[in-house]
Amino acid sequence: PGPARALLEVRGLSKSFGGNHAVDDCTFTVPEGSITALIGPNGSGKTTVFNLVSGTLLADRGEILLDGERVDRVAPWGRAHRGVGRTFQITRLFREMTVLENIVTPLRSFSIPRLGVPAVSGAEASRAMELLDFVGLAAYRDVRAGSLSYGQQKLIELAQVLMLDPKLIMLDEPAGGINPTLIERMGDLIRDLNRQGKTFLLVEHNMPFVLGLCDPIRVLAKGHVIAEGDPDRIQKDPAVIDAYLGD
Ligand code: ADP
């Protein structure tokens, strides 16, 4: 078989903050059906790339294509409608709302803004329960989200993202700050969703997690992709070793 089609294509993307070239002529693809990792030292531009792809930041230059269509000037909610879902490094749940309320919230905030917030339908509520069950937290549906552990909150965020049924799921440090049992569950859920056809792009610092789960890997340094390939190749790449040692 030939190379997989790119679900996401980033071409010559650049973003500066003042004189700081956070993302600098960045080019990479996320093959359809892959679990792709974006790694790199602190400050290499990973979060900025996430923000540019999800649309919370606008690029200075470059193109972002989803399924071959330009989305780089589309508003964040429009990109969500076209199939881009993401989580954040620090969870953004409404701590005072219940777990179930949190899961149905993105649907409402991403529905047509001019029409305001529609009520949650029975179908939405039952889908939310299915997803809670999927992440293993059905028993917590009526619990205040803020009372859950950080790892559980990350699983709730995954369920929240799935509510929009995205084609591309972008996870910002899914294994960061969570215990080994939940890291394993997170990895199993990602694999399971991938088998169901979901494509992933994840930023992650936990190298054993990345090397065991992701292929291909894109390595950023100073906002630019300096290496790409499968885990074996990346681990042996002198440019990658240099970039990390120079951190
Ligand atoms: P990473 O996620 O790889 O740690 P970031 O994308 O957060 O990297 O940051 C890349 C560079 O851009 C860093 O030098 C950071 O200080 C800078 N940066 C990121 N966001 C902003 C911002 N909103 N304003 C100014 N500088 C920023």
Between residues 106 and 113, the one the model is more confident about: 106
DSSP string covering 97-125: SBHHHHHHHHHHHTS-GGG--PPPPHHHH
Mean pLDDT value across the chain = 91
- Decide whether any atom of ligand 1 lies within 6 Å of the 47 Cβ: yes
Residues with Cβ within 8 Å of 26's Cβ and at least 6 positions away in sequence, in order, are 10, 12, 13, 14, 45, 49, 62, 220, 223, 224, 225
Burial of 114-134, coded b for 16+ CB within 10 Å and e otherwise, reads: eeeeeebeeebeebbeebbeb
DSSP letter for 146, please.
G
Q: Does 20 contact ligand 1 (Cβ within 6 A)? A: yes
pLDDT score for 246: 64
Please give the distance, rounded to the nearest whole angstrom, from the Cα atom of residue 30 to the centre of ligand 1: 22
Q: What are the tokens at 54?
A: 């999800």
Residue intervals of the chain classified under CATH 3.40.50.300 are 1-83+167-247
Nearest CA to ligand 1 atom 21: 17
For the Cβ of 40 lying below 6 angstroms from any atom of ligand 1, the answer is yes
Q: For ligand 1, is residue 51 a contact (CB within 6 Å)? A: no
pLDDT in the model for residue 156: 94
Residue 42 alpha carbon, nearest atom of ligand 1: 4
Tell me if 45 CB under 6 Å of ligand 1.
yes
Residue of 20, 54, 56 best suited for mutating to test ligand 1, as the one with most atoms within 8 Å of CB: 20
Q: Tell me the mean pLDDT in the region 56-74.
A: 97
* pLDDT digits 0-9 by tens, 83-105: 999 988 877 888 888 999 889 87
pLDDT greater than 50 at residue 112: no
| Identity of residue 24 | D
* CATH 3.20.20.70, applies to 1-83+167-247: no
152 Cβ closer than 6 Å to some ligand 1 atom: no
Q: Tell whether ligand 1 has an atom less than 6 A from the beta carbon of residue 44.
A: yes
Alpha-carbon dihedral 3, 172, 39, 2, rounded to 10 degrees: 0
Pick the more confident residue, 51 or 241: 51
**22 within ligand 1 shell (Cβ under 6 A):** yes
How many helices (H) and strands (E) in the chain? Answer: 9, 10
ipTM of the complex, rounded to two decimals: 0.97
Q: Report which protein residue has its CA nearest ligand 1's atom 23.
A: 17
pLDDT range class, residue 119, cuts 50, 70, 90: low
User: How many C-alpha atoms does 4 have within 13 Å on its Cβ side?
Assistant: 16
Q: What residue has token string 């949190």?
A: 102
Predicted confidence (pLDDT) per residue in 126-161, tens digit = 999 999 999 999 999 999 999 999 999 999 999 999
How far is the CA of 46 from the CAs of 40, 54, 128, 205, 223, in angstroms?
Answer: 7, 12, 30, 11, 8
